[in-house]
């Protein structure tokens, strides 16, 4: 089952509410962000890569992508400040954040910025290893 943009947006928004209300602490926030990122990538694959994206798909993608980047940057800074605290059973590192954020910025360049169709196809082929794109 593939989550839709509504589900991804709801999860990301709920995670942000948890942060504002300080419900769980910094490590669960980080784990939630990575789970949200995973849902986002699966929905992106289904809606934008394997199918022809609609204007609504691109709009939701842009909004959720911006939320994930902003929250990822905040959590990365928080992580670096709290990296010595115990409890990181998942072994998440600063490098994990750096790689995830770089991939999000690359995604933003592919889908939201001006780019030639050839360069976009080249990047998508590199990311998805030749998986058929709907574009």
Nearest in space to 69 (alpha carbons), one of 39, 113, 46, 101? 101
Residue 133 lies in a domain: no
Distance in angstroms (rounded) separating the CA atoms of residues 72 and 16: 11
Arithmetic mean of pLDDT, 66-85: 83
Q: What is the pLDDT of residue 135?
A: 47
Give Cα separations from 8 to 60, 63, 88, 95, 135 (angstroms).
9, 11, 25, 24, 22
Q: At what angle do helices 26-44 and 5-20 cross, to 10 degrees?
A: 170
Residue 37 lies in a domain: yes
Distance in angstroms (rounded) separating the CA atoms of residues 12 and 81: 23
Arithmetic mean of pLDDT, 69-75: 91
Residue 13 lies in a domain: no
Q: What angle do CA 37, 39, 45 make, to 5 degrees?
A: 100
What's the pLDDT tens digit per position in 53-67?
898 999 999 999 999
Residue 4 lies in a domain: no
Comparing 39 with 125, the larger pLDDT belongs to: 39
**3-class SS at 64?**
helix
Distance spanning both ends of the chain, measured CA to CA: 22
Comparing 92 with 108, the larger pLDDT belongs to: 108
Q: For residue 2, count other CB atoms closer than 10 A to its CB.
A: 11
Arithmetic mean of pLDDT, 44-57: 89
Residue 36 lies in a domain: yes
The number of domains in the chain is: 1
Residue 70 lies in a domain: yes
Domain that holds residue 57: 25-82+91-128
Residue 3 lies in a domain: no
Residue 62 lies in a domain: yes
Nearest in space to 3 (alpha carbons), one of 37, 33, 52? 37
Entry pTM: 0.74
């Amino acid at each position: 089952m593939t989550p839709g943009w509504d589900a991804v947006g709801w999860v990301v928004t709920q995670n942000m509410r948890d942060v504002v209300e300080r419900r769980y602490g910094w490590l669960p926030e980080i784990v939630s962000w990575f789970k949200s990122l995973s849902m986002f990538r699966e929905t992106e694959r289904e809606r934008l890569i394997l199918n022809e994206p609609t204007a609504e798909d691109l709009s939701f993608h842009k909004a959720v992508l911006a939320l994930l980047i902003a929250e990822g940057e905040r959590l990365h800074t928080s992580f670096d400040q709290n990296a010595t605290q115990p409890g990181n059973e998942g072994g998440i590192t600063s490098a994990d954040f750096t790689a995830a954020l770089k991939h999000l910025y690359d995604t933003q360049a592919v889908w939201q910025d001006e780019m030639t169709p050839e360069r976009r196809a080249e990047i998508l082929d590199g990311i998805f290893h030749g998986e058929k794109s709907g574009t």
